[in-house]
Amino acid sequence: MALNKVALELTGVTDPRTNLEINVSTTVRKKYREYYSGQEVSAHTRADYSNMSNVELNEIIAQDFAASASNAKHMFLARTSSLETRKREWIEIRKVGVIRPFNFFFSVIRKNSIDIIAISTIYKKPRKARTPITDVTAG
């Protein structure tokens, strides 16, 4: 189990779609820093994410992710299973619900958390679309 959590940090923010705590990967935090270092975040705010603490940045990312709760676009089962449960976990793709230079979040729905593992500017819709399930907590 420790191998799955090495690059993830807790945020203390709960996802409204899954009611699970949101964790943020180092990869996602690094991308936010690259996108926003010294850039204008909105018309009223200029933030330098490069000097922001991980805790503060994780919370911003988790809030952006939570704002996309109603925009789940696709779900599929991971190829490998959880070491803890021996079950394959759901991977969810969400369209970003706020104005950002990227458009999609990729997350893994685990037993006790939802982990943001990547962000992307593109998402290639699969030929066989799968409507996201509504009860993501039902095994």
pLDDT in tens, 16-45: 999 999 999 999 999 888 887 766 555 445
Q: Find residue 10's DSSP bridge partners.
A: 23
- pLDDT tens-digit series, residues 87-113: 888 899 999 877 777 889 999 999 899
Least reliable range by pLDDT among 47-51, 116-120, 134-138: 134-138
Do the domain assignments include residue 139? no
CA 22 to chain centre: 8
d(CA 123, CA 21) in angstroms, rounded, equals 25
Domain limits for position 80: 2-120
Do the domain assignments include residue 113? yes
Do the domain assignments include residue 128? no
Domain count, the chain: 1
Do the domain assignments include residue 84? yes
Do the domain assignments include residue 81? yes
- The DSSP result for 95-124, as a single string, is E-SS--S--EEEEEE-SSEEEEEEEES---
Do the domain assignments include residue 26? yes
75 contacts 132 by C-beta, under 8 angstroms: yes
Do the domain assignments include residue 133? no
Q: Given this model, what pLDDT does residue 15 score? A: 96
Do the domain assignments include residue 99? yes
